[in-house]
A and B are shown apart, each in its own frame.
Chain A
């Protein structure tokens, strides 16, 4: 039970990172982006490639950080992957979503995102093969926190949680303390009014994709560290991430963080009462419960 709770918090840390970007995009561009989870796989695979590349170029960096299975090379690869995934998100928007948006077919954006998800997921499968990959072939030994009840935590999981919380704190500072943060909130509130006040709409949209893509990349790597890197990971993550945004309230960054942890914990706690086969249905049950009790989520506001 306590083990499930701990595992849930760790699952929640990467779901939250994924949900933050998604909720921002849904808030500013007003469409449910079904290809957001594919940015997680894109980031995970980019890190895989650059991890191998950096290790090959500078073998010294293959050293591990303390008790973690994470190497210095992977740390550098994560940073590169954040930038690349952010840029990819901007490019996908420029090439596809922006064109559909400008034609005034706002509802069709959802369709376009489904199409993009199919393309990205399967192109990754074609390039990297359909079998799972790992960042480290070594077995990560878990630390025993307590023997009765048995509670195990891997050092990597602790790192993932701390790093995720740190990133969220940085994002919080940016959103609440900088002019850019105000501009972002202004655009979400009322795009035309924000433009009248000198906020550059196109630049704000680009920034949202960069942030969303960067966080998605980290989320993807963290998922890969906890499980494995596999082309269909986006397919399995899309519903939990959406559930996190709905539980938190679409558009609320803090809601997305809390929602991510709630979805992660609920999914792991459900294992106590339900066979593990039913885990993929849990996010949907949460969505139904939230829609019944509090349709706009914990922090969301009603908006047409």
Chain B
């Protein structure tokens, strides 16, 4: 019984962290139409940033500044934001392909750097020596996990409310205007490239927050955590849930993470021994089919974007 509950808490914590990431991507893709091909790099910047800033001193690599936890998390978010700023500044003036390719490139280079630069973040061994906050008070067991889950849940709700506010605000209207017709927005005196940059950085900071929480949860991060797989998973969550709809983004995160864990479990349980090596390939084919299938048959997702009418005309 306690085993099941403790697994459910573990599952819900991971799904909630991913839901925060999907919300960040939704601001970029769903609301602004910016294609982020390197979700995992911004997520990873948050995780690495938080652990390096908040960890205990380590031999051989950067880190161990032992910062007060919220500051370390903030540092991780800033790292993700800075990376988004550089990439966005270079690409957002150009046609949309450039952002897709450059963000994809960031993810490849980020993983490559983390894997090779031992002086920076421990290389393939990853960043160790991070102590989870409040561990002395709550211990390492079930109590800690419950407390951590509720913290993540509160952050998820806060991010959700913030984004709902943002989307409903004049700024949100501006994002949709740029997504639908850039020239029309420009003709009204708006600067699409600057607004897009703001949205791209904000979304990436949220991705960094999710990454920071992920790193905290495992108290460890290595190049294995920043593989392109995560990018595909987070996209699938957004597309299935419904791009442009924050509720859809959260729903998609829980649904796809559930399906991913269940399919992984089922394949390892029921697939013949010879096929075990290929379970990863099968899961990738499935996620590819989900992405392509949704785009072809239900591009608006399970919970479509709701039409926002800012000001209704008076009825005659």
Q: Which residues of A contact B (CB under 8 A)?
A: 26, 30-32, 34, 96, 99-100, 103, 105, 107-108, 110-112, 114-119, 121-123, 125-126, 130, 235, 238-239, 242-243, 246, 250, 275, 277-278, 280-281, 283-285, 287-288, 291-292, 295-296, 303-304
Chain B, residue nearest A278 (CB): B116
Separation of A123 and B278 alpha carbons in the complex (Å): 10
CB under 8 Å from chain A, chain B span 81-110: 90-91, 93-98, 100-102, 104-106, 108-109
Contact B291 A118 (CB under 8 A): yes
Closest B residue by C-beta to A120: B288
A-B contact pairs, 7 of them (CB 8 A): A103-B299, A115-B289, A116-B288, A121-B284, A125-B281, A280-B112, A291-B102
Instruction: Tell me whether A126 and B94 are in contact (CB under 8 A).
Output: no
Bound Cα distance A233, B296 (Å): 27
Q: In angstroms, how far is the closest chain B Cβ from the Cβ of A294?
A: 12
CA distance A243 to B100 in the complex (A): 12
B32 smallest CB distance to A (angstroms): 11
Decide if A291 touches B90 in the complex (CB within 8 Å): yes
Contact between A32 and B112, CB atoms less than 8 A apart:
no
Residues of A within 8 Å of B100, CB to CB, are: 32, 34, 110
Question: In the assembly, what is the distance between CA of A303 and CA of B93, in Å?
Answer: 11
- In the complex, A29→B290 CA distance in Å? 23
Report the count of interface residues on B (CB-CB < 8 A): 42
Residue contact B299 to A118, C-beta cutoff 8 Å: no
- Asked if A116 and B96 make an inter-chain contact with CB atoms under 8 angstroms apart, the answer reads no
Q: A278-B116, A280-B112 are in contact. List 17 more A-B contacts (CB 8 A).
A: A34-B100, A103-B299, A110-B97, A111-B239, A114-B291, A115-B287, A115-B292, A118-B232, A119-B284, A277-B115, A280-B108, A287-B101, A287-B102, A291-B90, A292-B90, A295-B93, A295-B98
If over half of A's interface residues share one DSSP class (helix, strand or loop), that class is named, otherwise mixed; here it is helix
Tell me whether A118 and B102 are in contact in the complex, defined as CB-CB below 8 angstroms, given that A107-B35, A277-B116 are known contacts: no
With A242-B101, A287-B101 known to touch, is A100 a contact of B295 (CB < 8 Å)? yes
The secondary structure that dominates the B interface is helix
* Nearest 10 Cβ contacts at the A-B interface: A118-B288, A115-B291, A284-B105, A119-B288, A115-B292, A277-B116, A32-B97, A122-B281, A284-B109, A281-B109
Task: Please give, as numbers and ranges, the residues of chain A lying within 8 Å of B93 by CB-CB distance.
Answer: 295
Identify the closest chain A residue to B183 (Cβ).
A304
> For residue B282, which residues in chain A have a CB less than 8 angstroms away from its CB?
122, 126
A126 close to B106 (CB less than 8 A): no
In the complex, B244 has a CB within 8 A of chain A: no
Task: Report whether B104 and A239 are in contact in the complex, using a CB–CB cutoff of 8 Å.
Answer: yes
CB distance from B277 to the nearest CB of A (A): 7
Residues of A within 8 A of B116 (CB): 275, 277-278
* Residue B266 interfacial (CB < 8 Å): no
Interface centre among A96, A118, A121 (most CB of B within 10 A): A118
